[in-house]
Amino acid sequence: MNHTRWKLTREKKLAEGYTEPPEVTAEREQIRLAMALGQLVHDRRTELGLSEAALASRLRMSAEEVEHIEVGGVLPVTSDLLVRLATALDVAVDVHLAPSGGTAVTFNAHAA
Protein backbone atom coordinates (compact mmCIF):
# COMPACT_ATOMS: atom_id res chain seq x y z
CA MET A 1 0.00 0.00 0.00
CA ASN A 2 1.32 3.45 -0.90
CA HIS A 3 0.79 5.72 2.12
CA THR A 4 2.05 8.78 0.25
CA ARG A 5 -1.32 8.91 -1.52
CA TRP A 6 -3.21 9.24 1.74
CA LYS A 7 -4.52 12.67 2.51
CA LEU A 8 -5.75 14.09 5.73
CA THR A 9 -9.43 14.91 5.89
CA ARG A 10 -8.55 18.58 6.07
CA GLU A 11 -6.45 18.37 2.90
CA LYS A 12 -9.29 16.63 1.06
CA LYS A 13 -11.77 19.28 2.13
CA LEU A 14 -9.43 22.08 1.10
CA ALA A 15 -8.92 20.44 -2.29
CA GLU A 16 -12.71 20.36 -2.70
CA GLY A 17 -12.91 24.12 -2.14
CA TYR A 18 -13.64 24.18 1.58
CA THR A 19 -12.22 27.17 3.41
CA GLU A 20 -11.54 27.07 7.11
CA PRO A 21 -13.18 29.63 9.34
CA PRO A 22 -10.76 32.41 10.35
CA GLU A 23 -10.77 31.29 14.01
CA VAL A 24 -9.62 27.80 12.99
CA THR A 25 -6.82 29.25 10.87
CA ALA A 26 -5.78 31.51 13.77
CA GLU A 27 -5.75 28.55 16.17
CA ARG A 28 -3.51 26.61 13.78
CA GLU A 29 -1.07 29.53 13.71
CA GLN A 30 -1.05 29.64 17.54
CA ILE A 31 -0.28 25.92 17.63
CA ARG A 32 2.56 26.33 15.13
CA LEU A 33 3.95 29.22 17.17
CA ALA A 34 3.74 27.23 20.42
CA MET A 35 5.50 24.24 18.85
CA ALA A 36 8.28 26.39 17.37
CA LEU A 37 8.73 28.21 20.67
CA GLY A 38 8.89 24.92 22.57
CA GLN A 39 11.66 23.64 20.31
CA LEU A 40 13.60 26.89 20.68
CA VAL A 41 13.30 26.78 24.47
CA HIS A 42 14.49 23.17 24.60
CA ASP A 43 17.40 23.83 22.25
CA ARG A 44 18.55 26.95 24.12
CA ARG A 45 18.13 25.30 27.53
CA THR A 46 20.30 22.36 26.51
CA GLU A 47 22.80 24.68 24.83
CA LEU A 48 23.19 26.48 28.16
CA GLY A 49 23.47 23.15 30.00
CA LEU A 50 20.39 23.83 32.11
CA SER A 51 18.02 21.20 33.43
CA GLU A 52 14.28 21.80 33.25
CA ALA A 53 14.39 22.43 37.01
CA ALA A 54 17.15 25.03 36.65
CA LEU A 55 15.25 26.87 33.92
CA ALA A 56 12.09 26.61 35.99
CA SER A 57 13.88 28.31 38.86
CA ARG A 58 14.95 31.16 36.57
CA LEU A 59 11.37 31.49 35.31
CA ARG A 60 9.85 31.11 38.78
CA MET A 61 7.70 28.21 37.68
CA SER A 62 7.73 24.44 38.04
CA ALA A 63 9.76 21.98 35.96
CA GLU A 64 6.44 20.55 34.75
CA GLU A 65 5.50 23.98 33.38
CA VAL A 66 8.84 24.18 31.55
CA GLU A 67 8.21 20.75 30.08
CA HIS A 68 4.75 21.94 29.03
CA ILE A 69 6.32 24.89 27.20
CA GLU A 70 8.92 22.67 25.52
CA VAL A 71 6.33 20.29 24.07
CA GLY A 72 4.35 23.19 22.61
CA GLY A 73 1.54 23.02 25.11
CA VAL A 74 1.30 26.71 25.96
CA LEU A 75 -1.64 28.43 24.29
CA PRO A 76 -1.88 31.25 23.75
CA VAL A 77 1.74 32.35 23.62
CA THR A 78 1.78 35.63 25.52
CA SER A 79 4.16 38.57 25.46
CA ASP A 80 4.70 38.09 29.21
CA LEU A 81 5.95 34.54 28.62
CA LEU A 82 8.23 35.69 25.79
CA VAL A 83 9.78 38.40 27.98
CA ARG A 84 10.34 35.93 30.83
CA LEU A 85 11.94 33.40 28.46
CA ALA A 86 14.17 36.07 26.91
CA THR A 87 15.47 37.02 30.33
CA ALA A 88 15.89 33.46 31.63
CA LEU A 89 17.59 32.19 28.47
CA ASP A 90 19.59 35.38 27.76
CA VAL A 91 18.21 35.78 24.25
CA ALA A 92 16.40 38.31 22.14
CA VAL A 93 13.07 36.92 20.96
CA ASP A 94 11.91 37.89 17.49
CA VAL A 95 8.34 37.17 16.44
CA HIS A 96 7.25 37.62 12.84
CA LEU A 97 3.52 38.04 12.38
CA ALA A 98 2.02 38.18 8.91
CA PRO A 99 -1.63 38.68 8.00
CA SER A 100 -1.48 35.74 5.61
CA GLY A 101 -0.12 33.38 8.28
CA GLY A 102 3.44 32.20 8.47
CA THR A 103 3.97 33.25 12.06
CA ALA A 104 7.56 32.61 13.12
CA VAL A 105 9.58 32.97 16.30
CA THR A 106 13.37 33.02 16.62
CA PHE A 107 15.91 33.39 19.42
CA ASN A 108 19.10 35.41 19.02
CA ALA A 109 21.68 34.79 21.73
CA HIS A 110 23.31 37.87 23.17
CA ALA A 111 26.96 38.33 22.29
CA ALA A 112 29.26 37.23 25.10
May I ask the CATH architecture of the domain 18-109? Orthogonal Bundle (1.10)
Domain extent listing, the chain? 18-109
22 vs 57: which has the higher pLDDT: 57
Three-state secondary structure string covering 93-110: EEEECCCCCCCEEEEEEC
pLDDT confidence bin for 1, thresholds 50/70/90: very low
Q: Which residues of 48-57 are buried (b: 16+ CB within 10 A; e: fewer)?
A: eebebeebbe
Do the strands 104-109 and 91-96 form a parallel or antiparallel pair, or are they unpaired? Answer: antiparallel
pLDDT of residue 112: 52
pTM reported for the whole predicted model:
0.79
Report which secondary-structure segment, H or E, holds 43.
helix 22-47
Cα angle 39-22-77, degrees, rounded to a multiple of 5: 30
